[in-house]
Amino acid sequence: MSEETEYEIALSRPKAFYSAFERKEELQHQTHYCPGCGHGIVHKMLAQAIDSLEIQNRTVLISPVGCSVFAYYYFDVGNIQAAHGRASAVATAVKRTRPDSIVISYQGDGDLAAIGSAEILHAANRGENITVIFVNNTIYSMTGGQVAPTTLLGQVSTTTPKGRQAGNEGYPLHVSELLATLQAPVYIERVGLGDNRQIAQAARAVRRAVENQARGLGFSFVEILSPCPTIWKMSPVEAQHWVRDVMEKTFPLGVLRDLIAQAEPRPVPRPAPSLDEIPRILGVAPPAPAASAERSSPKPASPLDLQVRVAGFGGQGVLLLGEMLAEAGLDAGLEVSWLPSYGPEMRSGTSNCHVRLAQEPVDSPLVAHPDVLVAMNEPSLIKFAATVRRGGWIVYNGEAVPAECPAEGVHILARPFTHIADELGDARAANMLMLGALLEIAGSLPQASVDAALMRLVKSPRWLELDERAMTRGRELFQEAFEGVRR
Amino acid sequence: MHRQLMKGNEAIIRSAILAGCRAFYGYPITPASEIAEAAAIYMPEAGGVFLQAESEVAAINMIYGAAAAGERAMTASSGPGISLMQEGVSYMAGAELPCVIVDITRAGPGLGNIASEQGDYHQVVKGGGHGNYRTLVLAPHSVQEMADLTALAFELADRYRNPVVVMADGFIGQMMEPVEFPTTATSPRIPKWAVAGTEESRGNLISSIHLEPDKQEAHERQLEAKYTIAQRREARAEEWWTDTADIVLVGYGIAARILKAVAAEARAEGLRVGVLRPITLFPFPAEHFRRAAAHAQVFLVVEMSNGQLLEDVRLALNGARPAEFLNRMGGNVPSHAEVLESVHSLAQQIPPAEERQGLVAHV
């Protein structure tokens, strides 16, 4: 024991690495990376950063599809393997769900710059508080060397056998420069693994990018130019020199964004409300006992079973009319349904809805043969008049039902409701006039339930007053026309 | 009892939050957008996350991330968006991550239109992504079921560690009916397997990779074993007078509502008509069909797609009884009248009960 004290350990395996790679099928003492591959170096600098920032327990590493798909073999941290290109989307949600975690998205150039270009762009633009390590080796290595967005002009790949041509594959994509056009990122730097000096700088950049997240500063991105001797068909030494001597000419190294000094830690999310508060927040909590006792639902005077179709132009308040009727029915203790027609029936800007009020649960909410058609314009009248059941009613917004309209065997109340509403104060109250008439036809729906529905759906005092008047006037118009007649 | 008039799409998000969902990632599409709009209001209020993603592809992968971190997570879309999500759904099934996906279906293929259709049956029920997996599929036919089945979907997703789809047509999403919610909210614990950025979860791995064929096969067999258990335990259907029916009408979603109205009218006419409504589309309630086939003479499948449900009904019946077919597509709904007419026509073909004495269904 005593001789150990004579040595100081200057370099050792980072704690953030497993001591044996047990998730690997074989050769558990070494990585799956090829000799001279840059991933081993980048892994080490990342593990050292995790160690030095003492965040191993909080770290979640997102591994991509590509050569680093198996990063979880090596990192003794929480590990999530993502679909091709989607690592920064996955990282986004992990971080937002667990704000205390340190989320590192580790991606190659095929993964990030091609199939995942949308996900990285938007994660960066949102300024997600994550760290992205982007290992750029200009090629799809895992799949055997196909052209990547980052492949240099003239560079041979299995899918650019004569070399990349700008006219066919476009130009090398400069992801760091692209992201540096965005406002949100805090830190963007391109580094290389071309020689020891570059590697030392790369390690500093990786550490900063992780530290920024630990400090809550925002989106940090490090692009690392990295050798791939196997696919490049070079020796490890040649490949490293190629990074420094060739690759760097297309992808200049340097800091493209550094707002670390100015960046404020992102706001901490509000604490979640207690579970008891959730029903109230959602507006589904039952009303306080006192209030509900005060307003017990009046029951309809007689059993009510009513099928209504309301139709008109968009903007005439067709849907609101129907909803008001359904709300009133529900308040009166009836079973109700309200179904807006949309799709093919909505062509030419017409709007219509089906409303059912019934004693028993409503089977079909679709009203094929209404007891009452409320037609707020002529096209709606023409379209639906023939569907009204014999002995039913049509309430029509017009002086009279046109002669050609098929309306035999039905009662008709035709009045220029829009005009009458205009005289009452606003033409848009025509729907409530017609609802008033409809309520007379429905007969037994208690006024208290109608008032309750009105209060629930109409918030403006001006409209509340006008709608009440309009409804009353609508009832009168019906009574004047059909004194003593009830459905 | 506190019943509120509410759209199906709005009921879903309230039910999800009451069930402990605190992550919603989505992308706008008609007729499902109200779900995201409601989530945008309520999710942050409830201490959860709402984010409109850059695409459905990103959205489902965000769900993957939230689920991997141990959160009850959901998204909602419609046919074209669900198509884009299928890769992510396959990954989630492969990585055994729970989530709830709501599909408010519209008409297709391609851009189609925004009206109600049920053409997503195959892509949702049969698993539209790659590989050997299944999604559990619930098919609400009322606003109350939009709430109830969404809550159930989260339970099933956690129980089976698998994506669960709530599939409803645009009508069920857009219509308003009275709905009642649970009076208390639940808050599930972070599952043991989750990667939550904590010391306890540091050793966890979420992945769908098994390089060795034997290990991959074992994994797929284990998934299959889960689906077998689900088939035994989770199949649900609603039966309306099927025990005394000569003619059994079959449909789900808005179509089932029409079938109930038709059956009521046919019963009033003295015809022995029932309705069998699958509530789970996977697992398919085949046992319910076999039971009904013991009495029924014929089944009439009514769907808003091109025979996709019909295939499963015929598989379930396995030739025991004929399954006739009535469908509408493109955003059209089978009308009460046309279904009733088919019922009348089938009723005339059924021999009177006295002539059927001694005929026993072999099922």
The CATH number given to whatever domain includes residue B9 is: 3.40.50.970
What whole-number distance in Å separates Cα of residue B337 and Cα of residue A416?
34
Beta strand ranges found along B156-260 (DSSP E): 163-169, 176-179, 205-206, 237-240, 247-250
Residues A81, A146: one domain?
A: yes
Residues B134, B249: one domain?
A: no
Residue A213 lies in a domain: yes
Residues B29, B174: one domain?
A: yes
Interface check for B184 against chain A (CB to CB < 8 A): the answer is yes
B residues 262-281 near A, CB within 8 Å?
Answer: 264
pLDDT in tens, B41-96: 999 999 999 999 999 999 999 999 999 999 999 999 999 999 999 999 999 999 99
Mean pLDDT score, B288-299: 96
Residues A225, A337: one domain?
A: no
pLDDT in tens, B322-363: 999 999 999 999 999 999 999 999 999 987 766 665 554 444
| Of B47, B64, B207, Cβ closest to residue A272 | B47
Q: Is A346 a residue whose pLDDT tops 60?
A: no
Residue A40 lies in a domain: yes
What whole-number distance in Å separates Cα of residue A320 and Cα of residue A338?
10
pLDDT category, A484, cuts 50, 70, 90? Answer: low
The H or E element containing residue A79 is strand A78-81
Cα atoms in the Cβ-side hemisphere of radius 13 Å centred on B126? 11
Strands A411-415 and A139-140: unpaired
Mean pLDDT score, B281-301: 97
Say what the pLDDT of residue A131 is.
98
Residue A278 lies in a domain: no
Interface check for B174 against chain A (CB to CB < 8 A): the answer is yes
| ipTM confidence | 0.96
Residue where a domain terminates, one of B233, B256, B275 = B233
Residues A308, A252: one domain?
A: no
Q: Do B207 and A81 touch (CB under 8 A)?
A: yes
Residues B216, B242: one domain?
A: no
Residues B100, B210: one domain?
A: yes
SS3 A415: strand
Mean pLDDT score, A124-151: 97
Residues B221, B117: one domain?
A: yes
Residue B17: its chain A contacts at CB < 8 A?
278, 282
Residue where a domain terminates, one of B233, B249, B270 = B233
B interface mutation test: which of A54, A97, A324 has the most B CBs within 10 A?
A97
Say what the pLDDT of residue A96 is.
97
pLDDT in tens, B237-255: 999 999 999 999 999 999 9
With a pLDDT cut of 70, the percent of chain A lying above it is 94
Q: Are the beta carbons of A402 and A396 closer than 8 angstroms?
A: no
Residues A440, A319: one domain?
A: yes
pLDDT in tens, B144-201: 999 999 999 999 999 999 999 999 999 999 999 999 999 999 999 999 999 999 999 9
- What is the distance of C-alpha A347 from the center of its chain? 28
Residue where a domain terminates, one of B186, B202, B233 = B233
Say what the pLDDT of residue B355 is.
66
Residue A67 lies in a domain: yes
Residues A310, A401: one domain?
A: yes
- Burial status of residue A20 (CB atoms within 10 A of its CB: 0-12, 13-18, 19 or more): exposed
pLDDT category, A269, cuts 50, 70, 90? Answer: confident
What whole-number distance in Å separates Cα of residue A133 and Cα of residue A135?
6
Q: Is A28 a residue whose pLDDT tops 50?
A: yes
Can you give the C-alpha Rg of chain A in angstroms?
A: 36
Residue B115 lies in a domain: yes
Give the residue numbers spanning the domain of A324: 301-481
Q: Do A83 and B258 touch (CB under 8 A)?
A: no
Residue A104: its chain B contacts at CB < 8 A?
none
Say what the pLDDT of residue A288 is.
77
Residue A288 lies in a domain: no
With a pLDDT cut of 70, the percent of chain B lying above it is 97
Q: Do B116 and A90 touch (CB under 8 A)?
A: no
Residue B71: its chain A contacts at CB < 8 A?
97
Q: How many domains does chain B have?
A: 2
Residues B271, B335: one domain?
A: yes
Q: Do B62 and A89 touch (CB under 8 A)?
A: yes
**Beta pairing partners, B52:** B26
Residues A347, A417: one domain?
A: yes
pLDDT category, A10, cuts 50, 70, 90? Answer: confident
Q: Is B261 a residue whose pLDDT tops 50?
A: yes
Angle at A23 between CA A19 and CA A25, to 5 degrees: 110
A433 CA: distance to closest CA in chain B (Å): 23
Residue A293 lies in a domain: no
Q: Do A79 and B206 touch (CB under 8 A)?
A: yes
pLDDT in tens, B153-162: 999 999 999 9
Say what the pLDDT of residue A56 is.
98
| Of B22, B62, B186, Cβ closest to residue A92 | B62
The CATH number given to whatever domain includes residue A390 is: 3.40.920.10
Residues B248, B227: one domain?
A: no
Residues B263, B130: one domain?
A: no
Say what the pLDDT of residue A127 is.
97
Residue B22: its chain A contacts at CB < 8 A?
97, 272
The CATH number given to whatever domain includes residue B294 is: 3.40.50.920
Lowest mean pLDDT among A290-299, A324-333, A354-363: A290-299
Say what the pLDDT of residue B13 is.
98
A286 CA: distance to closest CA in chain B (Å): 5
Q: In one letter, which amino acid is A325?
A: L
Mean pLDDT of chain B, nearest integer: 95
Say what the pLDDT of residue B363 is.
40
A interface mutation test: which of B176, B192, B199 has the most A CBs within 10 A?
B176
Better-predicted residue by pLDDT, A8 or B268? B268
Mean pLDDT score, A357-368: 95
Say what the pLDDT of residue A295 is.
54
Residues A332, A251: one domain?
A: no
Residue A272 lies in a domain: no
Q: Is A377 a residue whose pLDDT tops 50?
A: yes
Residues A250, A316: one domain?
A: no
SS3 A346: helix
Residue B361 lies in a domain: no
Residue A101: its chain B contacts at CB < 8 A?
69, 196-198
Task: Kindly state the greatest CA–CA separation across chain B.
Answer: 74
Lowest mean pLDDT among A23-32, A262-271, A350-359: A262-271
Better-predicted residue by pLDDT, B280 or A442? B280
Residue A273 lies in a domain: no
Q: Which residue of B has its CA nearest to A322?
A: B176
**Beta pairing partners, A192:** A225
Residues B146, B285: one domain?
A: no
Long-range contacts of A382-389 (CB under 8 A, 24+ apart): A383/A311, A383/A350, A384/A309, A384/A311, A384/A352, A385/A410, A387/A309
Q: Do A278 and B46 touch (CB under 8 A)?
A: yes
Residue B362 lies in a domain: no
Residue where a domain terminates, one of A207, A239, A258 = A258
- pTM of the model as a whole: 0.95
Residues B10, B145: one domain?
A: yes
Give the residue numbers spanning the domain of B331: 238-356
Residues B17, B34: one domain?
A: yes
Interface check for B294 against chain A (CB to CB < 8 A): the answer is no
Residues B140, B159: one domain?
A: yes
Residues A243, A305: one domain?
A: no
Residue B281 lies in a domain: yes
Indicate the angle between helix axes B8-18 and B143-160, nearest 10 degrees. Answer: 40
Q: Do B176 and A58 touch (CB under 8 A)?
A: no
Q: How many domains does chain A have?
A: 2
What whole-number distance in Å separates Cα of residue A37 and Cα of residue A230?
8
Indicate the angle between helix axes B33-45 and B8-18, nearest 10 degrees. Answer: 30
Residue B19 lies in a domain: yes
| Of A93, A323, A343, Cβ closest to residue B66 | A93
Enter the tokens of residue A69. Answer: 């798909």
With a pLDDT cut of 90, the percent of chain A lying above it is 85
Residue A124: its chain B contacts at CB < 8 A?
none
pLDDT category, A337, cuts 50, 70, 90? Answer: very high
Residue A281: its chain B contacts at CB < 8 A?
42, 45-46
Residue A368: its chain B contacts at CB < 8 A?
335-337
Residue A362: its chain B contacts at CB < 8 A?
177
What whole-number distance in Å separates Cα of residue B352 and Cα of residue B332?
34
- How far CA A121 is from CA of A124, A190, A201, B25, B274, in Å, comes to 5, 16, 25, 17, 55
In the β-sheet with A102-108, what is the strand arrangement from edge to edge?
A254-258, A187-192, A220-225, A131-136, A102-108, A59-63, A78-81, B205-206
Residue B363 lies in a domain: no
Interface check for B204 against chain A (CB to CB < 8 A): the answer is yes
Q: In one letter, which amino acid is B97?
A: L
B interface mutation test: which of A364, A387, A449 has the most B CBs within 10 A?
A364
Q: Are the beta carbons of A102 and A131 closer than 8 angstroms?
A: yes
Residues A98, A237: one domain?
A: yes
pLDDT in tens, A192-218: 999 999 999 999 999 999 999 999 999
What whole-number distance in Å separates Cα of residue A483 and Cα of residue B29?
50
